[in-house]
Structure 1
Amino acid sequence: GPIRWFRGSGLSREAIYNFEGLSHPNVTAVRASNSDFSILLHGISTEYAGTYYCVKFQRKLNRQYLSGQGTRLRVKAKPSAPQETEFINERVARIFPSGEYTYLQRS
């Protein structure tokens, strides 16, 4: 069945990405192999913080079948001056279904 990514859980969870075409802005699939369901979050800011879940659904029933334990993403802003926060647009986080994440910063 299909694989989908969500931020949060329960009724308030937000669909982030599925591999059938639905995508949240600034989110892409890595697709390094047929078994790689990790995603990339581009231009992250503190709004991206939360727990992300990789969920497998049953195709015919469109019912949740398996869920990862969740990947918690924390984003810390670096203040550049008092009362001012600077975000670098090239920050990228790669989130894996296993619960790991890699934080990358491009120069």
Structure 2
Amino acid sequence: MKTFQTLIDETLKSRDLDELESAADLFQFGIEKGYYNKKQANEFNNAYWKTKDKHLAHEIASEINSNRLNVISIVSNAPMNIKDNKPELLNYVNGRIKALRGKISGIK
């Protein structure tokens, strides 16, 4: 079993969602075997969602023309129930970007 810090480092450096999910599966196995405590579970959860939000945002940003930082912010704040449904997440991000553009153009 990998040390906790090694697992966190590999999670943060994952190149795609498949690698991220593999790290989550490995962590789940470690939890079931009792290798990790609650504090470590919270730390892994934070690293997992930070990384997943980044990967999702990059996938969404490649499909739409918008600032990646805006997309990362929108994806990070999106409801959890739509993050696993890519078409619904894409629709949500498009809606938020249109609303953001409307607010910005309304100021001028």
> TM class, shorter-chain normalised?
under 0.3
Bigger proportion of residues as strand:
1
**Could you say which structure has the greater relative contact order, defined with CA pairs below 8 angstroms and 6 or more residues apart?**
1
- The structure with the largest alpha-carbon Rg is 2
Superposition TM-score, scaled by structure 1 size: 0.25
Bigger proportion of residues as helix:
2
